């Protein structure tokens, strides 16, 4: 039997077709069906590329159904290649490598041979900096981080990667177009009990005006862009199914991993979070530590005395990606009222997703995407959900918990 370390090794690359050199035609070709390559811009007689319709539009869905012989599904890479003009070839190549990395992580978290990597006994230690706001990394976090970094390096499309697992960003290469921020394995403490985990990521354009600065400085400043400047953001949920959810700024779309083909297949195009849900997701054990406004809101909605005259139910996994995914599909609110979740790696990408699905992300007072990060590991309260639920919640005077009475952050 192979050792666990060998199971983590990437497959041998084909020297004739390295992933970083793939054209959009080759990336998007499906050997399973007799399809024309998808993702190329169609040329007119003048030689100019025609403008492609936005992702999720009826025209895209209709054309994809026709090109697949009437089949009602498409893969992630086919969908991106068939998308709007803002989704260029460089982003397609980046996503090709990123989704490959996440397939490896999905296999890793489900493998009995790597179970020890999820446990504290593997030697995870806190950051050496006493002022660091990072969590103490676990071995499985570090392995996931390495998998993603290796894939982004191979893509040739990423200038810098900032990770929740690193104190400072990693400068990968000059002149590549994108900056990636990532939480490689959110909720890894849940691995031992098989509770869902996830990867969260955001993609920005590299700020070319910073190219003259020293590497450390331009890496930091590129990674501290406002969430309003995101080009794409998404999460991967590792659960009973592996879900890749992404937005390019024109709708939010979810794809499920088909293990028979190894492809992420579109299952939820153009998600619209219900304007109001009937679920709140928060750690109720902290009820007596909450500010008065948050206690009054929770008491009101679970008694059915709020603006929506039905009693709310509590659902809480304590895995941010899982709780967020449920909220995105069913509506309601998911929250952590403490200064706990990271603006750069968690709050900005998830707020981008929920907004492009018709919801709202807030720190309890301010729209998340309007907040300018000042630190890579900056923490803040986070409230995400249905727009009507969020407006009702924010109407209460005090919902941010500013103290931490005795339990670990």
* Active site positions, annotated: 135, 141, 164-165, 183, 185-186, 346
- Strand order of the β-sheet with 232-238 is 170-171, 158-163, 178-186, 197-205, 232-238, 242-247, 252-258, 263-268
Helical H segments across 136-276, by residue range: 139-155, 215-223
Q: Which residues contact residue 408 at a Cβ distance below 8 angstroms, ignoring those fewer than 6 apart?
A: none
Half-sphere exposure of 154 (CA within 13 A, CB side): 21
Q: Which tokens hold the place of 344?
A: 């750069």
> How many Å apart are CA 159 and CA 273, to the nearest integer?
33
> With the C-alpha atoms ordered 156, 157, 159, 160, is the resulting torsion angle positive or negative?
negative
> How many Å apart are CA 389 and CA 306, to the nearest integer?
10
Half-sphere exposure of 107 (CA within 13 A, CB side): 14
Phi and psi at 168, nearest 5°, equal -130, 155
Return the exposure string of 297-312: e unless at least 16 CB atoms fall within 10 Å of the residue's CB, then b. bbeebeeeebebeeeb
Q: Which tokens hold the place of 129?
A: 């900096």
Do the bridges between strand 333-342 and strand 379-385 make them parallel or antiparallel, or are there none, so unpaired? antiparallel
Asked if 180 and 202 count as a contact pair (C-beta separation under 8 A), the reply is yes
**Helix (H, G, I), strand (E, B), or coil: what is residue 335?**
strand
E strand or H helix at 94: helix 89-109
Helical H segments across 282-368, by residue range: 292-302, 320-330, 348-355
Q: Tokens 């035609």 correspond to what residue? A: 25
Q: How many CB atoms lie within 10 A of CB 193?
A: 7
Asked if 127 and 166 count as a contact pair (C-beta separation under 8 A), the reply is no
> How many Å apart are CA 152 and CA 35, to the nearest integer?
28
């Amino acid at each position: 039997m192979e050792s666990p370390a060998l199971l983590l090794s990437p497959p041998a690359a084909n020297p004739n077709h390295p992933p970083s050199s793939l054209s959009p035609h080759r990336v998007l070709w499906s050997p399973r069906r007799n399809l024309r390559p998808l993702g190329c811009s169609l040329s007119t007689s003048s030689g100019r590329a025609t403008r492609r319709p936005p992702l999720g539009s009826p025209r895209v869905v209709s054309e994809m159904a026709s090109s697949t012989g009437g089949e009602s599904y498409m893969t992630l890479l086919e969908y991106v290649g068939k998308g709007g003009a803002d989704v260029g070839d460089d982003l397609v190549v980046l996503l090709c490598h990123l989704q490959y990395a996440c397939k490896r992580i999905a296999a890793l978290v489900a493998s009995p041979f790597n179970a020890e990597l999820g446990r504290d006994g593997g030697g995870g230690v806190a950051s050496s900096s006493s002022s660091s706001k990072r969590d103490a990394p676990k071995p499985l976090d570090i392995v996931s981080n390495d998998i993603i970094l290796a894939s982004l390096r191979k893509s040739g499309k990423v200038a810098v990667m900032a990770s929740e697992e690193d104190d400072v960003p990693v400068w990968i290469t000059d002149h590549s177009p994108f900056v990636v921020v990532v939480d490689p394995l959110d909720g890894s403490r849940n691995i031992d009990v098989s509770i869902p985990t996830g990867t969260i990521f955001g993609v920005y354009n590299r700020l070319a005006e910073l190219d003259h600065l020293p590497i450390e400085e331009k890496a930091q400043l590129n990674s501290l862009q406002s969430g309003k400047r995101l080009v794409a953001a998404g999460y991967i949920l590792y659960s009973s199914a592996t879900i890749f959810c992404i937005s390019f700024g024109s709708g939010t779309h979810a794809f499920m991993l088909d293990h028979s083909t190894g492809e992420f297949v579109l299952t939820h195009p153009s998600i619209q979070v219900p304007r109001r849900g009937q679920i709140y997701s928060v750690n109720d054990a902290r009820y007596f530590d909450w500010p008065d406004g948050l206690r009054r809101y929770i008491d009101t909605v679970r008694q059915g005395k709020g603006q929506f005259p039905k009693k709310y139910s509590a659902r809480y996994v304590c895995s941010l990606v899982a709780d967020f995914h449920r909220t995105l599909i069913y509506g309601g609110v998911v929250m952590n009222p403490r200064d706990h979740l990271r603006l750069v790696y968690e709050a900005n990408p998830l707020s981008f997703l929920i907004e492009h699905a018709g919801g709202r992300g807030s720190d309890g007072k301010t729209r998340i995407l309007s907040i300018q990060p000042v630190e890579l590991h900056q923490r803040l309260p986070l409230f995400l959900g249905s727009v009507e639920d969020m407006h009702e919640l924010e109407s209460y005077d005090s919902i941010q918990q500013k103290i931490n009475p005795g339990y670990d952050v």
